[in-house]
Structure 1
């Protein structure tokens, strides 16, 4: 864990490393009963889930260096929201999922790992009151069009979307609605994961360009 975090340039305290380890243990434990993820092997879960989520933290911090409100939609077992909440404890992270047991799991993680700024919410994202989020993130949630359309009401003024994808989704980028634009695509390397990974950054097209 420490070596991988160093390779990703994510500084972690001993407490944070312990929280990540305990989170992975909880995910695998609950998964035996509640089917939170199709990945059941601990080594695979470490690379495909935990490190894959940790790899986005430096990019998020560059965009939002201070305190931020992050909304993770279709969070499942808390990926990447829980990992971000551990790595960025000053951020307010809300993980939304339409499956009640997944939101309950995230709430339990928040209690057991003492993460007061982490919240799990059982809801369809379209039914939520406005989250006023600085950043809305998704991982294998939907197409870019559907992702931005169903969450637009939750974006704070000046806020951005970021979608975790495998290969650069050129077709999805061409299919975006007129009011949304891609302003950056960042390719990532995840230790131990031999697969394409990228972040697609999006914003309202009318937003003032910084």
Structure 2
């Protein structure tokens, strides 16, 4: 089985961080386990080592690389619609002092993720099998997280609707997006305001290997709005 590329200098240059030997080994094990899981479950189409490194590992951590987020703090994050475990699984490996919840509506995927994080020895992960639109109606999850992460789950308005109810006042919803249009840019403040938030930052990056454009949207929860 192929190994992930050793791109320590790129980690450092682009994100001002690089994994130590233990984290590199965990990333490699994560890659191997997901390829194995792909034989039975439709987890990801991104399977080559370089693509996996860039589009899953690097992209996951790029989303939380902002002056708005202090990596040194012990934060509680939820990954909405996690699928194969991204961005949450990569973040949990990189930042073991964070608590990361992986949320997905497909029970078979959640069962796979349970086995995966156990085999990796990750004690800072929990999973929930539920739909996001149902979860935020449950009192124990409302405003329960410092960060809500949403990647490739639907339109911007849907992502905001799913994420902000789960975020504490003062916390952040982070939306991972590829293409970003001027129309979306104009519509975003009103969409966010309707759910008690404010756009703090829109960050555009080029991925380091394929030079694809990625956008990361940071939405601050300003007021409580429990009539979702």
Query: Do they superpose with TM above 0.5?
Result: yes
Structure 1: distance between partners of 2:145 and 2:210: 30
**Residue in 1 aligned with 2:198?**
181
Gaps of 5+ in 2: 1-5
Instruction: Please state how far the C-alpha of 1:177 moved relative to its aligned partner.
Output: 4.7
**2:210 aligned to 182, 193, 199, which one?**
193
CA distance change for structure 1 residues 160 and 27 in 2, over 3 Å: closer, same or farther?
same
**2:168 aligned to 156, 159, 163, which one?**
156
Establish whether residue 72 from structure 1 lines up as the match of residue 79 from structure 2.
Answer: yes
1:125-140 paired onto structure 2 within 5 Å: 125-128=132-135, 129=138, 130=141, 132-140=144-152
Establish whether residue 96 from structure 1 lines up as the match of residue 113 from structure 2.
Answer: no
CA distance change for structure 1 residues 66 and 169 in 2, over 3 Å: closer, same or farther?
farther
State the secondary structure of the residue aligned to 2:65.
helix
CA contact (8 A) 2:76 2:99 kept: yes
TM-score normalized by the length of structure 2: 0.82
Which deviates more, 52-61 or 179-188?
52-61
**Residue in 2 aligned with 1:13?**
20
State the secondary structure of the residue aligned to 2:172.
strand
CA distance change for structure 1 residues 127 and 30 in 2, over 3 Å: closer, same or farther?
same
Structure 1: distance between partners of 2:24 and 2:67: 19
**Residue in 2 aligned with 1:41?**
48
Instruction: Please state how far the C-alpha of 1:63 moved relative to its aligned partner.
Output: 4.4
Gaps of 5+ in 1: none
State the secondary structure of the residue aligned to 2:78.
strand
TM-score normalized by the length of structure 1: 0.88
